[in-house]
Chain A
Amino acid sequence: MTIARTVDDACAALAERPDALLLAGGTDLMVGVNRGQVRFDDVVVLDRVDELRGWRREGDELVLGAGLTYAEMVRGEIPTLVPALAQAARTVGSPQIRNAGTLGGNVATSSPAGDTLPVLTALDATIDLRSSQDTRQLPISRFVTGVKQNALEPGELIEAVRVPVLDGPQEFLKVGTRNAMVISVVSLALVVDRSGRNVRVGLGTVSPVPLRAVEAEAHVGGCIDWDTGSVPDTADVDRFAALVAGAARPIDDHRGTAAYRSHAVGVLARRALLRAFPGSAP
């Protein structure tokens, strides 16, 4: 095993031993290990790589280190700069899980229920990938390719996630059985870009990969009174919620039925829109 101290260390170890598992916070991987579902004899540990910790601002963009923990996402300036990400991070697990779990781990696990994924999808996030040979960038929409599947190549790791700093309100909403320790039944992120005059919606847990509700976005974008920050016509709010519900491609599973998920995601869409545009007709 390798306890990496630098990204170069980690990439060199992976180049030499491409079958080694990558371990960040361990909150997903160790569950499989404890159950005997994941067995391994080699691992590259990432949680002591300082370059992967923390975040920086580059112009209108935040570069979030893959090792940023959920606890770190709810502290400092991130709740102001990317409110939906902080809101999503706060809904993850418990303090214990938020102290360990990381943004890069959430992206790499690529679970349909990954709480940051709808936010990153709404924000059109870019994933910075690195190997000993190369660096490349992929939009989140091309990175996540299926249920717990992604475009990460052998020898590659996630170095950072880039998100824009937008001017406008953001909401993250999630349905579960209680406030803590919930794997989402449905989740939704809504971000407003006042300067671009658009609204973007990312949906989680309603399809194999996180989705954008593009028709709903296009519809509501034309209905907003940007001067008052409202959607004046109730019918447009209804239409938006219906289009979001229609975009969902959910399945029945042990956490909820497809029918419930389609219904719930419409409810979340309406709630998020009315919070983002509080002057709207309800």
Chain B
Amino acid sequence: MEKVFAMPEAMKDAKTLYCPGCGHGVAHRIVAELVDEFGLRERAIGIAPVGCSVFADLYWNFDVISAAHGRAAAVATGMSRAKPDCFVISYQGDGDLAAIGTAETVHAGNRGENFVTVFINNAIYGMTGGQMAPTTLVGQPSTTCQLGRDPSIAGYPIRVCELLQTLGGVAYLARGSVDSPKNVMATKKYLRKAFQLVLDKKGYSLVEIVSPCPTNWGMNPPEAMKWLKDKMLDHYELGVFKDITAES
């Protein structure tokens, strides 16, 4: 009998430590499936950021380095420049990429550093217990904006793809979501393109994945998925924001 569905070779057979309804598992799997699809397992290096995905090495069956909070883009630069044959995947959350690591993100993008960034946007700090993220929606409560995010105090939720769009070195920007099979397929398609562009040495390629965090949103998994669809996708439009290989 033909086997049509199996654990990717780039994935370890491990029990998940992520909460029920978390989006990291799907995102990790998409990455692993693409590592297999492109035959990159032996030369792939994943970056585990500070955040819930700091233990990405428990799940990915390829080399992993853990970066200091926000510094993944600089670490990725140091690896991909020194060993262009390596395939570097910088996996980062919203606090990591768009708060403490904004400078590294913007400048790695602007220099056109050749690595893939997987940006998990769940509008909250997960590992530290639900603090406000740069992507927290206006009015959304968190442990550090308990009355809801007030733009007059805390500014506005940052749209990372739109922010990076003008930078010369950026090759590819897209935003997907894990809220439905259809959107998971679309996200994988975006990430496949990002992988291809980095393999073709086209430069900085980022896929943002809008992802649920039921635990820190204070919801059960179905509620969280509904809130993601109704609220987050209203602010974070899905689609491709930049593709330097697209025909105009």
The answer to whether A binds B is no
Residues of B within 8 A of A (CB): none
Residues of A within 8 A of B (CB): none
